[in-house]
Every structure is written in structure tokens, then in C-alpha cells.
Chain A
Amino acid sequence: GNSVTQMEGPVTLSEEAFLTINCTYTATGYPSLFWYVQYPGEGLQLLLKATKADDKGSNKGFEATYRKETTSFHLEKGSVQVSDSAVYFCALSRASNTGKLIFGQGTTLQVKP
């Protein structure tokens, strides 16, 4: 079946450190891939997305590249800030499941000053 696996957290970094959160997926065909962020006490916000292989999604300094050969969509940021502390979810959506998002378990990021 379709699934998303994320690295376990929490990930604790100092401000201005480099961030990588790993995400791999299992799906048939060509899913669309997403990163959502959830700040404490809030709903999910779309951070970035990629809809085909080799696409790079980017937003607010975050980037992720759709790698079909490794079935991965790792999230990166060159310099994290305290305000980036949140839970990050990787998700996929397949053509035969219109709009349905399949989420990973989430990775908590804590950034210390």
C-alpha cells in the first residue's frame, strides 16, 4: 500500500544550524509530494510541494527535491530559526485517490537560541 516514513524526532538544533528531515515514500505511479508544518495549537499549513520527479519545492528558505530513484523527498533548510520550531509532516497524494493525503508520523523540530 501507499505509505510515508519520516525520521523520528525530536530533532534539536541550535539557531542557524543546517536542517535535514528525511522522508521516504512507497506508492505506485507518480504521486504528488508535500511538506506540511504544524505550529503548537494550530492546524496544518502547506510548506511546499512537488508534483513530478526532479521538481524542487521551496518556501521560506525550506527546500525539498522529488527523487523518484530513491523515493525520497527530504526537507532541508540552510539556517534554522527559533520560530521554525514545529512539527513537520511529509505527505503524498495519488491520482487514483483524488485529493486524499497520506501523512507520515511527523517530526518535531526544536530550535534553541
Chain B
Amino acid sequence: ETGVTQSPTHLIKTRGQQVTLRCSSQSGHNTVSWYQQALGQGPQFIFQYYREEENGRGNFPPRFSGLQFPNYSSELNVNALELDDSALYLCASSPNGQLTDTQYFGPGTRLTVL
């Protein structure tokens, strides 16, 4: 069984640029959630996708957007990058998006904005 994978591992961008991060969910999982983890902090919920539809969003501006594909993989897009967007971006998948579902996290993508 393949776990959650994310790409790329590391990324360096400059202010104002756009970035796309990718996530492949665990086999059999139809729900993907994205989190932002600033250095020394706990992860913050960005949004969740369930069967290709957005199913909840945290306090992030519209320049954070996402997609989920028919195979349940997902993308996180960030436009007009700011220095504060530097963080570890974590993707997590779960079977059905239910309250008690365990979320399985990928290793994350480390984004640095200069």
C-alpha cells in the first residue's frame, strides 16, 4: 500500500511568483486536506477536498486555491507569493472525510519565499 506522497520536496521562489504543490493520496482515500506549518508552529488547516469538491476552508486568502482530480490526487496553488508563505505544506488523505477518520500525512513540501 503506497502512502501519501508530495512533490517537490523543497522549493525556492521569490515574492510575487506563483507555485503549485502536488499530493498523491493513499490508495482508497477520496479526501485530501492541506495544511500550512510555519516554523515552530502547529499545522494550520488551509482546505479540504472530498470527491473533487472543496469541503471546507480555513482562514486563508483566495490566492490559496486547490484542485482534486478524478484519481483523488490534489494540487495546492499559491499566487502572488509573500514572504510569510514560507512554510512546510502538508497534505493529508483520509478514507471518507468523516470526523473520526484518521488523516495520513505526507512528508511535506518545504517552500521558501525570498
Q: Do B107 and A95 have beta carbons less than 8 Å apart?
A: no
In the complex, the answer to whether A98 meets B104 with C-beta atoms within 8 Å is no
Minimum CB–CB distance for B2 against chain A, Å: 14
Question: Interface stretch among B13-21, B40-48, B62-70, B76-84?
Answer: B40-48
Which size class do A's interface residues fall under? 20 to 34
Also in contact, A100 and B45, with CB within 8 A (given A42-B107, A43-B108, A44-B90): yes
User: Do B102 and A49 have beta carbons less than 8 Å apart?
Assistant: yes
Q: Report A-chain residues with C-beta under 8 Å of the C-beta of B58.
A: 100
User: Which bracket fits the contact residues of B?
Assistant: 20 to 34
At the interface with chain B, which of A14-22, A63-71, A75-83, A102-110? A102-110
Q: Judge if A94 is at the interface, Cβ distance under 8 Å.
A: yes
Restricting to B74-104, which residues have a CB under 8 Å from any CB of A? 90, 92, 94, 97-104
* CB pair A43 B56 closer than 8 Å: no
Q: Which of A42, A51, A99 contacts B48 (CB 8 A)?
A: A99
Instruction: Tell me if A32 and B99 are in contact (CB < 8 A).
Output: yes
Of B42, B94, B106, the residue contacting A99 (CB under 8 A) is B94
Instruction: Return chain A residues, CB-CB under 8 Å to B71.
Output: none
Tell me, yes or no, whether B25 is within 8 Å of chain A by CB: no
- Given A43-B105, A46-B102, A46-B103, the answer on whether A101 and B97 have CB atoms closer than 8 Å is no
Bound-complex Cα distance A52 to B16 (A): 45
Given A42-B107, A43-B107, A43-B108, do A106 and B99 touch, yes or no (CB 8 Å)?
no
Interface pair A43/B106, CB less than 8 Å apart: yes
Q: Which residues of B contact A (CB under 8 A)?
A: 4, 31, 33, 35, 40-45, 48, 50, 55-56, 58, 90, 92, 94, 97-108
Q: Which 9 A-B pairs have the closest CB atoms?
A: A103-B42, A43-B105, A44-B105, A43-B107, A99-B97, A100-B45, A51-B100, A105-B42, A95-B99
